[in-house]
Structure 1
Amino acid sequence: MINESAVFWSRVLTEITLSFHIIYATIGVGIPLMIMIAQWVGYKSGDEHYILLARRWARGFVITVAVGVVTGTAIGLQLSLLWPNFMQLAGQIIALPLFLETFAFFFEAIFLGIYLYTWDRFDSQKKHMLLLIPVAIGASMSAVFITIVNAFMNSPQGFDVVNGQLVNIQPLLAMFNPAMPTKVAHVLTTAYMTSAFVLASIAGYRILRGSDHIYHKKALYLLMKLGFIFSVATIGVGDFSGKYLAEYQPEKLAAAEWHFETEAGASLVLFGILEDGKVKYSIKIPWGLSILAHNNPNAEVIGLDQFPEDEIPPLYIHYLFNIMVFIGIFMTALTLVYLVAKWRGWVFVQSKWYNWLIVAGGPLSIIAIETGWWLAEVGRQPWILRGIMRTEEGATTSDGVDMMLILFCLLYILLAIGSILALHRMFKENSIEREIADRTAAKGGDLV
């Protein structure tokens, strides 16, 4: 028996939890790579500013890891409490990637602890830098394994259902499902891209606040280069994701693109509103959807007319798709202009208005991550396990989920405030000017 109230509140609580967790999880995946690259650049160039970059980023990273652990634990708890029917069915199949995700996190945490407590204890920065390799690998593999679970929910395979029971379970086949390559690649590239833009936003803000120290300028230049590389990679992966959807989840693609009727040479619809079943005030790119879906301007693209009404995802995901894509394009263009301007010697990128665009890039990237995640999850509806179990069938039938929602929201508010205050106090009491002065005195000369 389905408890509609429990289903509704379970969905709300899960969405809030994932929306909060994804911020810290994304940073937790991308920052270790940024730290490793900064320290490598410092080691290769002999520039202490980049070593200091790595050191300060690592300190802040610890705070985000701590919050990510709490919210990740909350997700595991909620899977069991809010979605018991789903876990009873799918848990025996997805247990392997869930276990491997935990193992990858411990692998990362062990080496992160060693890395943090061995600063200045090695005779070579190279030896200390090598500790970051397992940290970065562990962080990325955590994302890989948990994304595999999500990919399985979109494209379940590796088992048979006989008389309502799962038989012939093949965990590895379930893990390497059709959705896995594009989803894993998209999560990793967007995590690296977002982390670069968040850190660049901080550097840009410090410059706007009047800090003219070369440290911030070097940080900004490095991060804008990395942001450009990973944003271009994200666009490429996004193209492959569109082709995956066209083949395996055409209803999600059709809903996201407001493609109502199956046709060849389909146009790509941007923005617009729906009035009486008609799309108005939109921007249409001729043949764009056919090219996105099949790399052929004359290819036929399946429309929503081919699916039962109760299996069509909510049509508002169209706006989520538009927001995600346009932020990605904006950030790619922003970094490209910055890099070309640096190469050509154009000074307008040093102006306040351009630095404000860079500062805005951090929050915009977080918004893109959120809308992309909502698109992925809402676009799978009405299924929690596509084609096998509907969302309402997987939810708890118990009451009291609304009270859980209040308690968890209070927890997330405290975690958000606590992490922001901790990071602010950490870097306020250890300003870059003070830290450079201390390290200069310790080394007996200027940092170069």
Structure 2
Amino acid sequence: MDAIVLARMQFAANISFHILFPTITIALGWVLLFFKLRFNATGDQKWMGAYRLFVKVFALSFALGVVSGITMSFQFGTNWPGYMEKVGNVAGPLLAYEVLTAFFLEATFLSIMLFGTGRVPDWLHTTATFLVALGTTFSAFWILVLNSWMQTPVGFEIRDGVVHATDWLAILFNPSMPYRLGHMLLASFLTASFLVAGLSAYRWLRGDRGADVMAALRTGVTLGAVLIPVQILVGDMHGINTLEHQPAKVAAIEANWETQGRMPLLLFAWPDEQAQENRFEIGIPTLGSIILRHDPDGVIPGLKDFEGKHPPVKPVFFAFRVMVGVGMLMLVVSWAAVWQLRRRGQPTPWLARALVGMTFAGWVATLAGWYVTEIGRQPWLVTGVLTTADAASNVAGGAIAGTLVMYLALYVLLLAAYVTVLFKLAGKAAAGALPPDPAPPQANPVVAAVTQDR
């Protein structure tokens, strides 16, 4: 493998590990706010019990997300210096806005959210939870603005080979941003919903049938059941937008070699890039055109129209089908869970096991979707402006390979430790071993007496 491929693999490994944790925290912050508001409104301790467990999950996820994000910024300088040299006038401010408006907000109020129960007024603790959740969403906004601009760049001009912003509103609200932002936020909520449902089901299987377990379980499966149809709708709009602005990516997603109307929807195929054809095709006639054009006669561009300028077909084609397949499985399981909980009030053991098995289903779907997005952009780093090859450094392939191996080994260990700790937290909650929140501080009796006398 040459140095460029190794550098791409290293960045892919870093971002694949990093994205797992913001995908949880972006939505989990809002779920925690829901738990807290329900407790404030009802006084029912089950909501505070759910909050106490999942705020620990949030803290662990947030910590790993911060640490893993740092390594990506280093790689801009070591492996991809051409990126900032070419588009730093746009990318730099957007990354700075993310730090100033999002990270500082999260870091400032996270300690109150984690340790403030019983130590600060309840309104302040609730406000801190809200601001942390808002900060995670701001962070997603700025990062997705930059990523979307790289996919559909507008609002700039090139002077002396360097990109300069000419219209920041156009950059912020570039053509793909609303669809990409909506799709990612929904993916985060679905990831968090199955995480909450899976850990709650694990507690249920360990014999904990407490009210907090059932409250969290119902919240998780209901959130998933409601949002998956919305995600399908947003995904459809996102696909139409991608067809308009990145037709080569859509051609790779569908493994469509020839421009054609009445294009079938391929359920399975083995794309052969050398022969420019598919083997072992299984498809539904005309459905591809109906989905992408909402017209059975709609014409879909073929890969042969982008000779030498289309992404690798196999990874994009299969990653898209993994994303959709996992999404459909999440829909079936969440709907079955909602129906069963409404009918019986408790899950059956097989359903609880299914939910535990799908605790991290959102991760699989999110990673597959990001592979479609990022690999589908190739050979461009910034579409039509900067290729991946032009942004790469001259670091030797052997050096990149060595650090890649170290990164992968470290990430495997950290991921195994993270998953283990999550289930241990859930197991301790089931055993009642989590320490209680501190009681509100009691007034000093001497001070109280003096105050009363006065």
Give TM-score scaled by structure 1 length.
0.90
For 2:105, the aligned partner's letter is F
Distance 1:293 1:428 in 2: 46
Give the alignment partner of residue 153 of structure 1, picking from 150, 155, 158. 150
**Shift in alpha-carbon separation, 1:307–1:421, aligned structure 2, 3 A:** closer
Question: Residue 272 of structure 1: SS of its match in structure 2?
Answer: strand
| Number of positions where the alignment pairs a residue of Structure 1 with one of Structure 2 | 435
8 Å CA contact 1:257, 1:270 repeated in 2: no
Aligned to 1:331: 330
Q: CA deviation at 1:8?
A: 1.7
Gaps of 5+ in 1: 443-448
Q: Deviations over 1:126-149 (max 9, x none)?
A: 553222211111001101111111
8 Å CA contact 1:200, 1:219 repeated in 2: yes
Q: CA deviation at 1:238?
A: 0.6
Q: CA deviation at 1:415?
A: 3.4
Q: CA deviation at 1:248?
A: 0.4
8 Å CA contact 1:267, 1:287 repeated in 2: yes
Distance 1:119 1:316 in 2: 47
Q: How does 1:236-275 map onto structure 2 within 5 Å?
A: 236-274=233-271
Q: CA deviation at 1:167?
A: 4.5
Aligned to 1:84: 81
**Shift in alpha-carbon separation, 1:172–1:80, aligned structure 2, 3 A:** farther
For 1:85, the aligned partner's letter is G
Q: CA deviation at 1:410?
A: 4.2
- CA-based RMSD of the aligned residues comes to 2.5
1:35 is the counterpart of 2:32: yes
**Shift in alpha-carbon separation, 1:312–1:427, aligned structure 2, 3 A:** closer
Aligned to 1:9: 6
Q: Deviations over 1:88-146 (max 9, x none)?
A: 1111112222011112111112112122232023554x553222211111001101111
Distance 1:410 1:92 in 2: 35
For 1:314, the aligned partner's letter is V
Aligned to 2:107: 109
For 2:329, the aligned partner's letter is F
For 1:342, the aligned partner's letter is L
Q: CA deviation at 1:371?
A: 0.9
Aligned to 2:380: 383
Give the alignment partner of residue 70 of structure 1, picking from 67, 70, 76. 67
For 1:92, the aligned partner's letter is N
Aligned to 1:304: 303
8 Å CA contact 1:32, 1:135 repeated in 2: yes
Distance 1:425 1:220 in 2: 18
8 Å CA contact 1:93, 1:170 repeated in 2: no
For 1:336, the aligned partner's letter is W
Q: Deviations over 1:54-78 (max 9, x none)?
A: 1221122112211111111111111
1:219 is the counterpart of 2:222: no
For 2:269, the aligned partner's letter is G
Q: Deviations over 1:10-48 (max 9, x none)?
A: 111101101111111211212111111111222223211
8 Å CA contact 1:271, 1:318 repeated in 2: no
Q: CA deviation at 1:427?
A: 5.5
Question: Residue 166 of structure 1: SS of its match in structure 2?
Answer: strand
Aligned to 2:117: 119
Aligned to 1:44: 41
Distance 1:201 1:424 in 2: 10
Distance 2:310 2:437 in 1: 62
1:354 is the counterpart of 2:362: no
Q: Deviations over 1:257-306 (max 9, x none)?
A: 11222222222111222465443444423332223222223222222232
1:128 is the counterpart of 2:125: yes
Distance 1:350 1:221 in 2: 10
For 2:156, the aligned partner's letter is F
Distance 1:188 1:80 in 2: 29
Q: CA deviation at 1:219?
A: 1.4
Aligned to 1:97: 94
Gaps of 5+ in 2: 441-454
Percent sequence identity over aligned pairs? 28
**Shift in alpha-carbon separation, 1:137–1:168, aligned structure 2, 3 A:** closer
Aligned to 1:446: none
8 Å CA contact 2:326, 2:361 repeated in 1: yes
Question: Residue 160 of structure 1: SS of its match in structure 2?
Answer: strand
8 Å CA contact 1:96, 1:171 repeated in 2: no
8 Å CA contact 1:39, 1:53 repeated in 2: no
Q: CA deviation at 1:177?
A: 1.3
Q: Deviations over 1:136-189 (max 9, x none)?
A: 110011011111111111111221224524356434422321121111111111
Distance 2:294 2:188 in 1: 27
8 Å CA contact 1:24, 1:68 repeated in 2: yes
Question: Residue 259 of structure 1: SS of its match in structure 2?
Answer: coil
Q: CA deviation at 1:323?
A: 0.7
Aligned to 1:229: 226
Distance 1:100 1:42 in 2: 34
Distance 1:50 1:402 in 2: 48
Distance 2:233 2:379 in 1: 29
